Amino acid sequence: MSLQPLTSLYRYAVEPIAPFTWFGTKVSTLDLVAVFRLCIALRQMRENLHDKHQRTTGENRLTLVEERSFVRDACAMLTIVFGGEAIIGPLLGIVPSFVFSGVSPGLYIAAQAIIEYIPVLPSVSLSTELPLSIVDGFTRAVLLCSLIPPPVITHASPVIASSPWALLLSSLVTANGGFFITNMFSFMDPTPLKVTTPDELKPYGWTTTDIWSAPFITGLYALLTHAQPFWAELHSVISTALGGTGSKVGPMDPESARALCALILVVLFSTRTAKNFGLIWKKSVVEKIKIQ
């Protein structure tokens, strides 16, 4: 299958657009899509948690609902976006992006202000989330393939620049650290902030698609593009094991590798959505009934 249409779409989607270019800032169409997608999803999540709290009984029902604050919601959103970067940056000696540029944080805050003024948002359903899984796959591929690897593989320290573990750890923490912090302090709940066990540390929390797909996709991208010497050698070993001639395997074009990773993420996120809404389970039950 040719990846050329996807690579061409990516080139168009990541091109800086007006009016942002008028002020010397590089904001693309894909950036805007990712920003508004996250802001809408977080508002839907807050509303669902509020409704769930209203339906609870027992001691949990006695916990007072705190009046929502735009500042609290903005802090939660910025923590989700930049929390992982804030954790891994100092460990690698890399200055987080939000420290030297306020464009991205300002864009997220402005988008949230716009979303908050929308009277009613569509409820979360299979018909809305399944198409958005495609969007999530393409926006997440940019993060895992284009934004996270460069600071590691171009690091001033040769040890870090050539370390596959540093690359995978950076992907894991950057993509998931923000959600870990917000879940730990209950930022999204309608009640006052409290420390609680994050979903990632609960039984089978590690099986969440977002958690393991981050290092998996970054590793796959590094393998295909030979981002580090380790991945080039591993690619040759895999090729030989699969019946290759044993000659040195060449790297894939970075844009094509990113497009392939995006397709894989689309499949993963679509499968997750179908499972969360019971589509896969219902289908299996129907087939079982037909067989009986």
Q: In total, how many domains does the chain have?
A: 1
Q: Is residue 146 part of a domain?
A: yes
pTM given for the model: 0.89
287 in any annotated domain: no
For the segment 137-152, the average pLDDT, to the nearest whole number, is: 95
Compute the C-alpha angle 133/137/139, nearest 5°. 115
pLDDT for the residue 66: 85
- What is the maximal distance between C-alpha atoms in the chain? 69
Within-domain flag for 104: yes
- Residue numbers of the domain that contains 186: 4-281
pLDDT of 60: 58
* Residue 245 pLDDT: 62
- Identify whether 201 is part of a domain: yes
* Residue 291 in domain: no
Cα Rg of the chain (Å, integer): 21
**Domain annotation covers residue 292:** no
Q: Is 163 helix (H, G, I), strand (E, B) or coil?
A: coil
Is the predicted pLDDT of residue 248 greater than 80, yes or no? no
User: What is the pLDDT averaged over residues 174-185?
Assistant: 96
Average pLDDT on 262-276 reads: 93
**In percent, how much of the chain has pLDDT > 90?**
65
* 290 inside domain: no
Measured N-to-C along each axis, helices 279-291 and 254-276 cross at an angle, to the nearest 10 degrees, of 60
Cα–Cα nearest to 162, from 86, 226, 87: 226
Q: Which two tokens stand for residue 31?
A: 């950036």
Whether 174 maps to a domain, the answer reads yes
Please answer whether residues 265 and 143 qualify as being in contact, where contact means their C-beta atoms are separated by less than 8 angstroms: no
Reply yes or no on whether the pLDDT at 284 is more than 60: no
pLDDT, tens digit (0-9, with 9 covering 90-100), for 50-77: 888 888 765 555 567 888 899 999 999 9
